[in-house]
Chain A
Amino acid sequence: MDLVLTQPQPLLKRISWLDWLFAVALALGAGYAYGQYVDHLSYYERAVLIGAVPTFAWLGWFWKPIKPLMAGIAILSLFAISLYHGNLARMDQTFFLQYLISSQAAIMWMCTFLVLATVSYWVGLLGRSEFALQAGTWLTWTAVLMGFTGLMVRWYESYLISPSVGHIPISNLYEVFVLFCLVTSLIYLYYEGRYATRQMGAFVLLVVTAAVGFILWYTFDRQAEDIQPLVPALQSWWMKIHVPANFIGYGAFSVAAMMGVTYLFASKGILASRLPKLEVMEDIMYKAISVGFVFFTIATILGAMWAAQAWGGYWSWDPKETWALIVWLNYAAWLHLRMINWVRGPALAWWAVGGLLVTTFAFLGVNMFLSGLHSYGHL
């Protein structure tokens, strides 16, 4: 009998040399940033910087493809930064910056790749083409690479405008929409890898394409891509954790809703032969909602703590806060509903799809139709 059977690999042995290298690279990068900018960082920002090392090291170990992705983002971003020579005007003078990896160019590439990925997934689904599906996966990964590079470079560009203007690019509706596309795509890619099935990409990428459509409209109709300085209320380290946590929630809920749509289609026999089994969709739906619920809870709590510092109270029944609560209650209800014996898949799928409407209203509708303290994201 194998010893392996009784002795599962201890944690340290399951970490390969590549994982170690990745962690060391992260630590070196953070160490460099710390040494270079420590005087400009508050204690909390230092904690965020240091905390990023184990977080991403763990993420890279937990999900292997994160490592090459982050390496790619780092290489492309550093390359772009090196091309700037500290001069923002070079954005329109250097070939690589103008057409490939200035923040705006990279984000436009992200949009392009995401649309192509959606088309590929649909061709693959309808034409039963494994090749097209695989292309969809690769296009999505490339889009994620370009999108994150775009955000990184945008972060740097904001400091080139003026050191006092510089800030992490998750502060307005344009920037968070890019973040939404990236997070949703990544969450989907994780489940795609985990369940070894690509067909659902066709559905999930639809919601991402809708977001891409919004970004394009917002860019070309409203010139929203300009980097703007932060209003005083947003100048806080809380933003660096509150916003990403929120968007992991939104992204996961979107994936769950699209799983719901896929489930409903398949359960009615539409495309059923081309899609995975219903249990798979149901399982991903549950998992995505679980992940989304945990992160959304964290995000709302962080938001409350930030509000306590900036607005004078951890809960003011501001429309955005209230809608966050409504979203939370909705998914809490979903999770309870799942425990009731007589509630079956289709009801849960419908509820998850409805959840996306509630989530979208909380994310966009509140800014469009209601006024309140979260008014930095007007349309």
Chain B
Amino acid sequence: MSTATRTIQPPGKALYELLSSMRFAVSLLTVIAIASIIGTVLKQGQPYSDYVFQFGTFWFDVFRILGLYDVYHAGWFLVILAFLVVSTSLCIYRNSPNMVREMRSFREHATDKSLAAFHHRREYVSDLSVATLAQRFEAYLKARRWHLKTRPTEDGGLLIAAKSGSLSRLGYIFAHSAIVLICIGGLIDGNLIFKAQQLLGIKKIETRDIPENQVPAASRLSTSNPSFRGNVTIPEGGSANVVFINVGDGYLVQDLPFILALRRFHIEHYPTGQPKAFDSDISIYSPDGKLIKNATVSVNHPLTYDGIAIYQASFGDGGSKLALKAWDLFTPKDQALDMTGVVHSHTELKTDMGNYRVEFTTFRPFNVEAMGKGPPPLTLKNMQVLGGNPTQGGEGMQNVGPSFEYKLRDAQGQAREYSNFMLPIQIEGRWYMMSGMRTAPNQPFRYVRFPLGPNDTLASFMRLRAAFLNPQLRTEAAQRFAATALGGGAANADMRTKLAESTAKMLDIFSQGGFQALGQFIQTKVPKEQQDKAAETYLKVLELASYSLLQLADEQAGEKPPPPGAVAGWFIRDSLNAYSDLFIYGAPVYLQLTHYDQVQSSGFQLTRAPGKNVVYLGSLLLVIGIALMLFVRERRMWVRLRPGGVLLAMSAAKKTIDFEREFAEHSASAEKLVKD
């Protein structure tokens, strides 16, 4: 029978009821919370190629259509937020008139019958006159800041209707209007205008990597665009009059009403070495080139000009000039060629092994590394100004000097990355030039250590390396080694020739493939059980013969070879390791940094956010509103005075322990008030 009693509502009314109901509010808050989680789990705004790599092409498309790469600007998310605004607005519309009425009303027309039905009610007998009682109760309530209204009743008595804490109703209106305000403010600062223009086909996202001045008007936003948030990187001495806004898998160009120039970027450090401040000295020029002002922006200290805030966002290299020595690694030449490079640009390199392109990617004037233990150093690559972890660093950290990175791309387009330090690094008491190589960006660098020779340069190693590639010198070295090993007498002539031949053969094999080639040779030519012993002997012979080779090479170059001993021994061993590593180094040259002229760049974020003040106003209202709603309790009290007796009744929206306590207190007070 329940269906019979249910009132059928028109659908519009039913929808209105639903949208403005408490159940809907709870569900909506929960749904927004869950939807928001998606964007924190899936990294937002990454290049699309990363997503393809991560999910495969099928799921990449599914997620793209669902807008998961930019959840918070996806249509469906905005629709949910729109529901929040609509639902909240309907709640305000629905409840505010009632709230205002409740705030103003004293409910002084409560009847005796209704008062008798109150749960919180107490009756007293009194000999005092109604006038005396009224005076006492009114004074009592007024002293406690209750608002009251007194109404005479038909039986000659009085009804005092009192209320306190009505502001909590105002809190409701404040808090809920605040939500609407904040959403509107956020909407103003969102990219709604562009979205609308995109839908209409007026604007479109630019996905090509082309110079800014070639970007067509359809992908440019004019200076009158009321709100934007874009980034631009400017090298020292450079300037920009646009910023780039990342959208989806492309970007838009936002024209600025001024020219922003970077004079200098500098980093201050703490005594402990961690960065303390990132400062950019900037100048602002009018579009026709007149200097308007100079200023310094740093993190937490943006500059606002013409309604546009300029923030320090990141830094990097702005095209440092590098002077390099290019050492051929696979020719018998022991001299380096001078060359120059500029970070973010590239140079063609012609070698005997083919043509390459050197793409200079980064230069760092200093590298703070954990030295002493563990694998070869990994460089701190975080060039972001923000965040960073101060618990890194501290003890054991050491500045190992400048480094630069480049990609070496061969004729087929395959590239390897290299990271070379400018200064030698000491490892286990000996000094090396370090050069790191990797074949993919997500790998760590693996380092070749080029040992420094007796005069602390690479010349000795490079001479030895060149000598290895010189067949004539190898033969000579083998003979010299045989002579020193077996003495010069005629008796050993046969053995000497044999030893010289086998040594020459060994040097030949090593020169063509390093230890790996030598190992293979031993494996194929020596019976298994003798391999270990043979390897030991070969190694010994190789080292000694290499020393002879170095002596020869040094003599030819007019240099004094290092005297035999531990130092020379280690140098030879390190040289052999380095030479052997060249076969996996994958480059025909080693680029040694000799001088640099650092040019830094600074990344700026420029924003225009007119909705900010609306959001802040909403925030203020929100705090006031919530505090009023939660900390102010609305209570009502009725004191019904009759000749001979008093009835006290109280009510509250929510019966809490505090309310019970307060009722107990007032009813105890009333006990005293009704007595003489």
Chain A interface (Cβ < 8 Å from any Cβ of B):
1-2, 5-8, 162, 164-165, 171-172, 222, 224, 226, 228-233, 235-236, 279-280, 283, 286, 290, 293-294, 297-298, 301, 304-305, 308-315, 317, 319, 322-323, 325-326, 329-330, 332-333, 335-337, 339-340, 366, 370-376, 378
25 pairs across A/B with beta carbons < 8 Å?
Answer: A1-B672, A1-B676, A6-B139, A164-B271, A172-B390, A228-B390, A229-B390, A231-B275, A232-B278, A233-B299, A233-B387, A280-B657, A301-B619, A301-B622, A310-B311, A313-B605, A315-B186, A317-B71, A322-B36, A326-B33, A329-B29, A329-B32, A336-B25, A337-B26, A366-B40
Additional 15 contacts, C-beta under 8 A, given A229-B276, A340-B22, A375-B387: A5-B140, A6-B139, A164-B270, A224-B391, A229-B274, A232-B299, A233-B387, A290-B631, A293-B630, A310-B300, A311-B605, A312-B229, A312-B607, A314-B609, A333-B33
Complex Cα distance, B385 from A346, in Å, reads 47
A330:B33 contact, CB within 8 angstroms: yes
Are B276 and A297 interface neighbours, CB within 8 A?
Answer: no
Bound CA–CA A1/B309 (angstroms): 67
Contact of A231 among B387, B607, B626 (CB under 8 A): B387
Residues of B within 8 A of A224 (CB): 391
Measured in the bound complex, the distance between the Cα atoms of B387 and A370 in whole Å is 13
Q: B299–A6 contact, CB under 8 A?
A: no
User: Given A231-B275, A313-B607: A293 and B30 within 8 A (CB)?
Assistant: no
Nearest residue (CB) in B for A162 is B271
How many residues of chain B get a CB closer than 8 Å to chain A's CBs? 71
Say yes or no: A1-B36 contact (C-beta < 8 A), given A165-B272, A228-B394, A298-B623.
no
Q: What is the CB-to-nearest-CB distance from A347 to chain B, in angstroms, rounded to a whole number? A: 11
Report B28-40 CB contacts with A as 1/0, cut-off 8 Å.
0110110011011
- Choice from B26, B43, B609, B656 contacting A340 with Cβ under 8 Å: B26
State whether A326 and B37 are in contact (beta carbons under 8 Å apart), knowing that A232-B299, A375-B388 are contacts in the complex.
yes
The closest CB in chain A to the CB of B31 belongs to A329
Most buried by B among A8, A279, A326, A374: A326
Nearest A residue (CB) for B277: A232
**What is the distance, in angstroms, from B282's C-beta to the closest C-beta of chain A?**
15
Taking CB atoms, residues of chain B closer than 8 Å to A298 are: 623
CB neighbours (8 Å) of B299 from chain A are: 232-233, 235, 310
Contacts of B25 in A (CB 8 A): 333, 336
A190 → chain B closest CB, angstroms: 14
CA distance A374 to B71 in the complex (A): 20
Check A297 against B272 for contact (C-beta < 8 Å). no
Q: Are B300 and A297 in contact (CB under 8 A)?
A: no
Q: Check B615 for interface membership: any CB of A closer than 8 A.
A: yes
B612 CB-CB contact with A under 8 Å: yes
A59–B300 Cα distance when bound, in Å, is 31
Given contacts A6-B136, A294-B630, are A229 and B270 in contact (CB under 8 A)? yes
Expressed in whole angstroms, the minimum distance between the Cβ of B120 and any Cβ of chain A is 15
Beta-carbon contact of B657 and A283 below 8 Å: yes
B313 adjacent to chain A (CB < 8 Å): yes
- Complex Cα distance, B382 from A378, in Å, reads 15
Q: Give chain A residues whose Cβ lies under 8 Å from the Cβ of B630.
A: 290, 293-294, 335
Cβ–Cβ contact B300 & A236, under 8 A: yes
Instruction: For the complex formed, measure the closest distance between the CB of A95 and the CB atoms of chain B, giving whole angstroms.
Output: 27
Q: Which 7 A-B pairs have the closest CB atoms?
A: A228-B390, A375-B387, A312-B605, A290-B630, A312-B311, A333-B29, A232-B299
Across-interface contacts of A162 in B (CB, < 8 A): 270-272
Measured between beta carbons, the chain B residues less than 8 angstroms from A308 are 609, 612
Q: How far is it, in angstroms, between the C-alpha of A336 and the C-alpha of B619 when the chains are bound?
A: 19
Are A232 and B390 neighbours in the complex by a CB distance under 8 Å?
Answer: no
CA distance A374 to B387 in the complex (A): 6
Report yes or no: A232 in contact with B275, Cβ–Cβ below 8 A: yes
Find out whether the CB atom of A376 lies under 8 angstroms from the CB atom of B275.
no
A311 touches B311 (CB 8 A): yes
With a cutoff of 8 Å between Cβ atoms, the chain B residues found around residue A330 in the complex are: 29-30, 33
* Cα-based distance from A247 to B323 in the complex (angstroms): 53
Complex formed: what's the CA distance from A228 to B391 in Å?
6
In this assembly, does B673 line the interface, its C-beta being within 8 Å of a C-beta of chain A? yes
A325-B36 contact, Cβ under 8 Å, with A165-B272, A232-B299, A283-B657: yes
Chain A: CB-nearest residue to B669: A5
Question: Are A329 and B605 touching (Cβ within 8 A)?
Answer: no
A232 and B623 contact, Cβ closer than 8 Å, known pairs A294-B631, A313-B607, A373-B386: no
A317-B44, A326-B36, A370-B41 known; A333 vs B390 contact (CB < 8 Å): no
Q: A231's closest neighbor in chain B, by CB?
A: B388
User: What residues of chain A lie closer than 8 Å to B385, measured between beta carbons?
Assistant: 232-233
Q: Is B144 an interface residue (CB 8 A)?
A: yes
Q: Is B616 an interface position by the 8 A CB rule?
A: yes
In the bound complex, CA of A280 to CA of B622 (Å): 29
Min CB–CB distance A189 → chain B (angstroms): 18
Taken residue by residue from 384 to 411, chain B's Cβ proximity to chain A (1 for < 8 Å, 0 otherwise) reads as 0111111101100000000000000000
Q: Is the CB of A301 within 8 A of B623?
A: yes
CB contacts (< 8 Å) of B675 on chain A: these are: 1
Is the beta-carbon distance between A317 and B623 smaller than 8 angstroms?
no
Contact assessment for B623 and A312 in the assembled complex, using a CB-CB cutoff below 8 Å: no
Closest to A224 in B: B391
B583 in the interface, Cβ–Cβ < 8 Å? Answer: no
> What 1/0 flags go to B272-311 for Cβ under 8 Å of A?
1011111000000000000000000011101000000101
Q: Please, which residues of chain A bring their CB within 8 A of the CB of B72?
A: 317
Q: How far is the CA of A325 from the CA of B669 in the complex (A)?
A: 46
Report the separation of the CA atoms of residues A46 and B93 in the bound assembly, to the nearest whole angstrom: 43
Closest B residue, CB atoms, query A365: B40
The answer to whether the Cβ of B525 comes within 8 Å of any Cβ in the partner chain is no
**Nearest CB in chain A to that of B655: its residue:** A279
Let me know if A378 and B391 touch, CB within 8 A: yes
Nearest chain-A residue to B668 (Cβ)? A5
User: Are A230 and B390 within 8 A (Cβ)?
Assistant: yes
B584 in the interface (beta carbon within 8 A) = no
- CB pair A375–B389 under 8 Å, yes or no, is yes
Cβ of A283: which chain B residues have Cβ within 8 Å of it?
656-658
* Contact between B40 and A376, CB atoms less than 8 A apart: no
Give every chain A residue within 8 A of B140 (Cβ-Cβ): 5-6
Any A CB within 8 A of the CB of B627 = yes
Once bound together, how far apart are the Cα atoms of A247 and B25, in whole Å? 27
Measured in the bound complex, the distance between the Cα atoms of B298 and A229 in whole Å is 17
Q: Is the Cβ of B229 less than 8 Å from the Cβ of A313?
A: yes
Q: Is the CB of B270 within 8 A of A165?
A: yes
> Does B631 lie within 8 Å of A333, measured CB to CB?
no
* A311 contact set on B, CB distance < 8 A: 311, 386, 605
Out of A165, A310, A332, A370, name the residue touching B386 (CB < 8 Å).
A310
Taking a contact as CB atoms under 8 Å apart, the answer to whether B143 and A8 are in contact is yes
In the complex, A148→B189 CA distance in Å?
A: 42
Q: Is the CB of A309 within 8 A of B270?
A: no
Contacts of B298 in A (CB 8 A): 232
Residues from chain A with a CB closer than 8 A to the CB of B32 are: 329
Residue pair B30, A333 in contact (C-beta under 8 Å)? yes
Q: Check B619–A304 contact: CB distance below 8 A.
A: yes
Known: A323-B40, A329-B29. A314 touches B615 (CB 8 A): yes
* Given A232-B275, A373-B386, A374-B387, also A333-B609 (CB < 8 A): no
Q: Which residues of B contact A1 (CB under 8 A)?
A: 136, 672-673, 675-676
Chain A hits for B189, CB < 8 A: 313
> In this assembly, does B23 line the interface, its C-beta being within 8 Å of a C-beta of chain A?
yes
Q: A5-B673, A233-B386 are in contact. Are A312 and B309 (CB under 8 A)?
A: yes
Residues of B within 8 A of A165 (CB): 270-272
**Shortest Cβ distance from residue A308 to the other chain B in the assembled complex, whole angstroms:** 7
Which of B29, B44, B669 lies in contact with A336, CB distance below 8 A? B29
A309 to B37, CA, bound (A): 25
Identify A319's interface contact among B40, B272, B276, B631, CB under 8 A.
Answer: B40
Q: How far is the CA of A323 from the CA of B36 in the complex (A)?
A: 8
B-chain residues with CB within 8 Å of residue A236 when the two chains form the complex: 300
Closest to B21 in A: A340
- Chain B residues with CB under 8 Å of A315's CB are 186
CB-CB under 8 A for A376 and B389, given A305-B616, A322-B40, A370-B40:
yes
